[in-house]
A and B are shown apart, each in its own frame.
Chain A
Amino acid sequence: MKNKNAYIAIGIVCVVLAAAITLQIRTMQGENSAVSQAFANSELKDSLLEWKEKSDNAEADLEKSVERLDELRQTSTTNGNSSEEKQEELKKYNQLLGITDVTGEGITMTVTDSTQTNTAVDMNNLIVHDSDLRSLVNELSNAGAEAISINDERIVSTTAITCAGNVILINGNKVGSPFTIKAIGNQESLYGAITRAGGYTYGLRARSIQVETKKSDNVQISKYTGALSFKYAQNDD
């Protein structure tokens, strides 16, 4: 009798197992399920993970080389005031070029696509366009911003803000709503320029796009991670 009970138990386990496996396979065959996709394009995903890792490693290497360079500059120029001044000068230029992390007083804005679903309104008015971001950067620059970033993409001298289809690209990287725009500079001028009556954000609000602007004494803007170099422009004395 004991034997019989055991066989029944095994039988039940087998049935449950079979059912589970069938269910699993059925789910995977469902065309739109996330699991099926996870398996279908796993090769591309592997490649994506691989390139992400490569790029992350390269950034870590770059970070180290920057530190090493700083060290070398210091050890090699410990003698004399003139070299100290020069180091300061270089630091200033690198900050302005956008290749170092910086902090300072300024403002942080959040610009978000409209949530309105009224179909009578032109959809184009409800979303934030690349031209809107260019205009905001222009306004902030006009108000004396010394560093600007949008969704952590630092605005540098070679930065283009473009759109490809329905995607906005900054420095060749995809950004999307909500846009967090940070600017370092005179807090009052920046805030005034952005919130003034008839200013650019007025127009955005009229399109029911959400704009939030906050002053901050400690805005942190990270550096540009790409390369800055000239291939065509030569110094001309």
Chain B
Amino acid sequence: MENNQEIKENQDSKNIKNANIKKKESKNNAKKPKEKKPINKATLVLSIVAGIITLVLIASIFVQFRTVDESKELDIEGLRDDELRTQIASYKSRYEETMEQYNANQNTINEYETAINENKETTELLDQEIEQAKTLLGLTNVRGSGVVVTLTDTDEALYTYIADDLILLINELKYAGAEAISINDNRIVNLSDIVTLNDGLIILYGNVRLTSPYVVKAIGDPTYLMSTLSIKNSGYIDQMKANGMAIEVKQDNNIEIGAYTGEIDNRYLKEAE
């Protein structure tokens, strides 16, 4: 940007000089006509041609700089086609997600506005919003279609299941769009943690002790959940089987997952201004 400005300034000063030269010429022209007319005409044509060429040049240089600058601004100057496509896809999905949330908000706004216009009680709407937030947080019992994954420790396995295996499974399920997850009927909520104690002999979830078999339930699109887990070689099922671990996955159209029973608190959170 600074460069550009300097160039601009340079060009501005050039322009001024040009203008000065032209002024001088025209003054000369005004004086000279009495003496020699034909030569003056030729000089005039020449200077006009030179002026036009200079203008075109300056304009093209400007265009050039502008183009490069615009690309730099977004840091996309040196990107290859596939990288550009990935970024386009990511902006697209961001746009779609944002619009989905925006539309949901608009609906709620409309409901509030109608309620206010008709002088109705709006605490009901607030209750609705609270209920929805609680559902999303995992504070209500939910039911729906999904998959049930059962992990069992066996003597044939290379090792017994550890916390990392459960964390990876939860991550895979979320990636596949799981809306609610539980392990041995303990609801998994945001920022819940699973740790291994004593080198894998005990797995703790919050204050709850988890033991094999680990029954992991997930509600979401059953087909998508299933296919994500069963991707050949790199999928979760094949990864576990490669270590001789016992794993069983089945689809279920009626999974029940209970509410989170622990405390979730915002003791340290303050609303940003």
- CB within 8 Å of B: which residues of A? 2-3, 6-7, 9-10, 13-14, 17, 20, 24, 34-35, 37-39, 41, 44-45, 47-49, 51-52, 54-55, 58-59, 61-62, 65-66, 68-69, 72-73, 75-77, 80, 82-83, 86-87, 89-98, 100-106, 131, 134-135, 137-142, 145-148, 155-162, 172-174, 184-186, 220, 222, 225-237
> Does B159 belong to the interface (CB within 8 Å)?
no
Residue among B64, B112, B192 with the most chain A CB within 10 A? B112
Q: A3-B43, A6-B43, A172-B93 are in contact. Are A37 and B78 (CB under 8 A)?
A: yes
A157 touches B136 (CB 8 A): yes
> Does B42 belong to the interface (CB within 8 Å)?
yes
Q: A73-B126, A233-B179 are in contact. Are A68 and B174 (CB under 8 A)?
A: no
- Interface code B245-273, partner A: CB below 8 Å = 1, 0 otherwise? 00000000000110000001111111110
Once the chains are docked, how many angstroms separate the CA of A102 from the CA of B67?
39
Query: Is chain B's interface secondary structure helix, strand, loop, or mixed overall?
Result: helix
Q: Which of B71, B177, B257, B265 contacts A146 (CB 8 A)?
A: B265
Q: Which of B39, B105, B112, B219 contacts A62 (CB 8 A)?
A: B105
Nearest CB on B from A140, distance (A): 8
Once the chains are docked, how many angstroms separate the CA of A231 from the CA of B135?
12
> Does B140 belong to the interface (CB within 8 Å)?
yes
> Does B175 belong to the interface (CB within 8 Å)?
yes
Q: A100-B272, A103-B270, A236-B256 are in contact. Are A62 and B194 (CB under 8 A)?
A: no
Nearest-CB residue, chain A, relative to B190: A157
B90 touches A173 (CB 8 A): yes
- CB within 8 Å of A: which residues of B? 39, 42-43, 46-47, 49-50, 53, 57, 64, 67-68, 70-71, 74, 76-81, 84-88, 90-95, 97-102, 104-106, 108-109, 112-113, 115-116, 122-123, 125-127, 129-131, 133-138, 140-146, 163-164, 167-168, 171-172, 174-175, 177-180, 189-195, 219-221, 256-257, 264-272
Q: Which of B42, B43, B135 contacts A235 (CB 8 A)?
A: B135
Q: Which of A34, A44, A68, A138 contacts B193 (CB 8 A)?
A: A138
Once the chains are docked, how many angstroms separate the CA of A56 from the CA of B83?
20
B171 touches A157 (CB 8 A): no
Q: A97-B137, A141-B193, A147-B269 are in contact. Are A158 and B88 (CB under 8 A)?
A: no
Once the chains are docked, how many angstroms separate the CA of A229 from the CA of B135?
9
A2 touches B271 (CB 8 A): no
B126 touches A77 (CB 8 A): yes
B136 touches A228 (CB 8 A): yes
Return the 4 tightest CB-CB contacts between A and B, nearest first: A160-B175, A101-B272, A93-B133, A76-B122
Measured between beta carbons, the chain A residues less than 8 angstroms from B39 are 2-3
A34 touches B268 (CB 8 A): no
Q: Which of B125, B172, B221, B271 contacts A102 (CB 8 A)?
A: B271
Q: A69-B109, A76-B112, A93-B133 are in contact. Are A146 and B269 (CB under 8 A)?
A: yes
A48 touches B179 (CB 8 A): no
Q: A44-B88, A138-B193, A146-B268 are in contact. Are A65 and B106 (CB under 8 A)?
A: yes
B53 touches A17 (CB 8 A): yes
Once the chains are docked, how many angstroms separate the CA of A120 from the CA of B102?
52
Nearest-CB residue, chain A, relative to B47: A6
B179 touches A232 (CB 8 A): yes
Nearest CB on B from A104, distance (A): 4
Known: A49-B70, A90-B130, A230-B142. 20 other contacts (CB 8 A): A3-B43, A13-B53, A34-B77, A47-B84, A48-B84, A55-B91, A55-B98, A65-B102, A65-B109, A69-B112, A73-B112, A83-B123, A93-B130, A95-B271, A100-B271, A146-B266, A157-B190, A225-B98, A226-B98, A229-B136
Nearest CB on B from A134, distance (A): 6
